[in-house]
Amino acid sequence: MRFKILISIITCFTFLFTAAQTDDGRKSHIKITKVKDEIYMLQGKGGNIGLSFGDDGIFMIDDQFEDITELILEDIKKISEKPIQFLVNTHHHGDHTGGNANMAKTGTTIIAHENVRSRISEAMNSALEKATTANGKPEGVDPQMLPTITFSEDMTFYYNGEKIMVFHVHDAHTDGDVIVYFTESNVIHTGDVFFEGKYPYIDTASGGTLLGYMEALQKIMMLADDETKIIPGHGSIASKKDLRFTKDMLGLLYKRVTHHYMNLRTEDEITSMRDFTKLYDDKGFGDGFISTEKMLQIIYNEVKRERGVIDVRDMNERLREKFRQQKEAREKREKNG
């Protein structure tokens, strides 16, 4: 039984780049971009990796997939031979944590929010359980995948000459998201709390919520200024302006879906509406992992959860019912009294 639970959604996130041959003939799909100062972004397949190089060593954010670790490490070595001392997981999804066990074996310390460790651990246990029931061998389940340091709210590193703030944002993309802020370089890695130029994925089965997602974007906007370079979970290096665009987009979609929901439009009707998504669809927002329809579905379900079932009876009927109930209660009191 292969360890598929963690990586259930990840293949859809795979972004490939022009293949380049390595010295020994293997294919490499890795692209490293300098973000600012000694901060770099590495793209391969899976979530964007953030890297800080300096005298202290290497500080890494996320590690993509198990099968690409070797190539990633080779490319990092081209910039610095220093050890990768710390690795922060921005959340538990397999396209951001798949290389954890490989990284731990090289001596890297893995740090994450406590819910990330719980979710990876749960997935490992369930894979083991299934393998035992099927009398199979649980391949790929390695306890070294687990972060060895966890925290509940935030954590600060003083590393490579700057203060690096790692803080938790609640119930956003998942329930274990963290944002990493390089305060001197003025670079922010958002994890999947921001998809540049695409509709975001909100993993409601793992505690993600739309309102939490919008709040998290607001939090990042409060830290960022016009010079800040933003490394998104997926997509290209972005600015505060791009982040604001996504936040406003979600706010508008939320408002429109709520309006139609309150006006008793059905899920099918709402998810096929395109008038208020057109501006974003034309920019290619729905061409990623989350289509326009899927985005509207996520928002519809959130609105439904918040608002509950709308009482469709007309106002007079509801008033008549209320009077009837009051009359009955009065009569009951008089009878008993």
Sheet architecture: strand order including 149-151: 31-36, 39-43, 49-53, 58-61, 84-88, 109-113, 149-151
In contact, 139 and 2? CB cutoff 8 Å? yes
CA dist., res. 212 & res. 206, Å (int): 13
> Which of these segments, 112-120, 185-193, 249-257, 307-315, binds Zn ion (CB under 5 A)?
185-193
In contact, 156 and 168? CB cutoff 8 Å? no
Q: Give the residue, chosen from 38, 175, 192, 302, that forms a contact with Zn ion under the rule CB under 5 A.
A: 192
Closest to Zn ion by CB, 93 vs 198, is 93
In contact, 224 and 190? CB cutoff 8 Å? no
> With CB under 5 A, what is the number of residues at the site for Zn ion?
2
Main-chain phi, psi angles of 271, to 5 degrees = -75, -15
What six digits make up the tokens of 217?
């974007």
Closest to Zn ion by CB, 93 vs 168, is 93
CA dist., res. 270 & res. 260, Å (int): 7
> Which of these segments, 59-67, 91-99, 125-133, 289-297, binds Zn ion (CB under 5 A)?
91-99
User: What is the smallest separation between the CB atom of 211 and Zn ion, expressed in angstroms?
Assistant: 18
User: What is the smallest separation between the CB atom of 11 and Zn ion, expressed in angstroms?
Assistant: 13
CA dist., res. 12 & res. 195, Å (int): 14
> Which of these segments, 60-68, 191-199, 214-222, 295-303, binds Zn ion (CB under 5 A)?
191-199
Question: Are β-strands 162-168 and 154-159 bridged in parallel, bridged antiparallel, or unpaired?
Answer: antiparallel
Interface positions, 206-225, toward Zn ion (CB under 5 A): none
Closest to Zn ion by CB, 93 vs 119, is 93
Question: 155: which strand partners?
Answer: 166
Closest to Zn ion by CB, 38 vs 192, is 192
CA dist., res. 105 & res. 109, Å (int): 10
Residue 45 within binding range of Zn ion, rule CB under 5 A:
no
Q: Which of 179, 189, 186, 188 is CA-nearest to residue 162?
A: 186
Closest to Zn ion by CB, 62 vs 75, is 62
Residue 196 within binding range of Zn ion, rule CB under 5 A:
no
Closest to Zn ion by CB, 14 vs 258, is 14
Residue 302 within binding range of Zn ion, rule CB under 5 A:
no
> Which of these segments, 33-41, 87-95, 112-120, 239-247, binds Zn ion (CB under 5 A)?
87-95
What 3-state class would DSSP assign to 209? coil
CA dist., res. 29 & res. 44, Å (int): 5
> Which of these segments, 14-22, 89-97, 163-171, 244-252, binds Zn ion (CB under 5 A)?
89-97
Residue 113 within binding range of Zn ion, rule CB under 5 A:
no
Residue 93 within binding range of Zn ion, rule CB under 5 A:
yes
User: What is the smallest separation between the CB atom of 8 and Zn ion, expressed in angstroms?
Assistant: 11
User: What is the smallest separation between the CB atom of 190 and Zn ion, expressed in angstroms?
Assistant: 11
Biggest CA pair distance of the chain: 95
User: What is the smallest separation between the CB atom of 72 and Zn ion, expressed in angstroms?
Assistant: 18
Question: 61: which strand partners?
Answer: 50, 88
Residue 92 within binding range of Zn ion, rule CB under 5 A:
no
User: What is the smallest separation between the CB atom of 56 and Zn ion, expressed in angstroms?
Assistant: 28
Which residues of this protein are in contact with Zn ion, per CB under 5 A?
93, 192
